[in-house]
Chain A
Amino acid sequence: MKIEWLSIDRVRPYPHNPRKNIETIDKVKTSIQRYGFNQPIVVDPQMFIVVGHTRYAAAKELGLAEVPVVIADLDEKRARAYRIMDNKAHDFTRWDVVDLKKEIEKLPDVEATGFSLKQLDDILFPELALIGKNNQHRRQHHIIVECASREDMNAVETLIRGKGFKRCRQSWH
């Protein structure tokens, strides 16, 4: 393994990355600004990102010229599989709310941890706790609605959004 500092322009996001990270970029930006770039971006020999799309996006937004990179000797399919597996592994990890609370209470700047005040209230006042309720690993729950046409899909989306489901994506092929 070798860590190289390379021009950020040489690193390429993987166009079919199945992990979406738009909502994580701000936290990672804060992390880089406060604590530095501690975890290199892993790329395949074609320089496509395998691990670290969020770090890359955050570095771009921060205007960093160079990023630390590890070039992994993986062929295309293995890089694609590892890209999924690295994210999947994270899904199995969960908080121990009791220990998390102990840690957070010791910190002078609790919001530095990435938790919002509301979420911290939930942890610090366990009667309100929502986090850590289930011991299962994190799951995503989707409903996929079959629609007759593009117009139908638009109409269904409006109705479903009206019910409070804000995360909808259209898909057609």
Chain B
Amino acid sequence: MRYLPKSPADRKAMLQAIGARSIGDLFAPIPAEYRLERDLKVPRQMAESEIVDWFRERARENGDSYTTFLGAGAYSHYRPVIIDSLISRGEFLTAYTPYQAEISQGTLQAIFEFQTMICELTGMEVANASMYDGSTAAAEAAMMAVRITGRRSVVMARSLHPEYREVLATYAHHQNLPLSTCPFDNTGRLNLQELEKSITSDTACVLIQSPNFLGTIEDISSVAEMAHKKGALLVVSIAEAVSLGIVEPPRQADVIAMEAQSFGVPLGFGGPYCGVIATREQFVRQMPGRLAGQTTDRNGKRGFVLTLATREQHIRREKATSNICTNQALVALMVNIFMTIYGKVGLQELAQHNLAKTAYAAGQFNKQAKLLFSGAPRFNEFVVQTSEDPYAINSRILGHKIVGGLPLRKFYPELGHAALWCCTELTTRSAIDTAVGMVAESERSVKAAKEEVDVQEVSR
């Protein structure tokens, strides 16, 4: 086996040194009746070339080289080459959690810079590094609000990512945290009258997403004011991190739960991604996840360590803020490098490109079908309602090697034949025009079919 650095002679010498007759002696503690005396039924040992071929075949079966209009919590952005060059360095790739600070300064300083940049972008005072993803970050942020306020219930927006809502429901269920859902209005924003009614003296937090699942940017100040007036916290989930380049961050929030996948992390069929929680300094001791802090060594030299570990499971056990241990460190490093590459000016220009492509696409779709929620600003996603079932339209678009917008029937049946479309800096005008053309064709044929029926009815 090519990963094992021992010759038969080494093994023999080691067994001799130990005083064992055979390797079987070392497995004697396993009761004989349970020992597996046969080969595992897994594929035979493969050569490296065979492994590469096997996965190439799977990659070909997996939508290789399609253009996508899918977003909905997983965004297709360009990944600068140096991200992979740098994270492939063995010193980052094959290191453990930086508990031994003296030989982990690289990882620790990188985390410190990550925390700083997340704070700059979100307008929060502290940020952790990291949570599993945006969905679990949102759930953990809600539980954090429960600990901070001593209240039990959570009001979540219906425009929060449906799968994030499902995850929160799973987490909240067995801790007996009542959840309620607040609807959106016809601008796609949270219905403030309904929100006012749903916040009670037991509401720990209002949990919203902005830009929300429908692409709409929420009126953060009004929501914050309403939550705070009744002593509840505001938790804002951000699923599309690139929006931070041009959309004012929710500074009035108490906790921000982010999905940072947009910052240089491959779509990778849904993971690994990178959740982050950011908050105000006063709440840091209730925040889950790892934190790097600055300190000095015995000679007064600047250095970094993992800190405030008394929040964590390896110290506090059942009283910890969370059970999280392994996080998404290497993915956070991708995010870190991405933020460094684009920086202060690039992130803004990148976001500007997303905005422009989306504005163009939304305008074009609106000429052929119905653009929903146009009364409030959006970033890079929008909802288009068609006369025909979007699954049917999409299957025709797929023939052009283009994946159309996400049909919303599963998540929001009340929206009828609606789909959520997303444009990023990678979406070309020609792809937009092709997709819009297919939607236009669909509308025309539905209309023609309808006219045909009308004509027949008149003639009858």
State whether these chains interact.
Answer: no
Q: Which residues of A come within 8 Å of B, CB atoms?
A: none
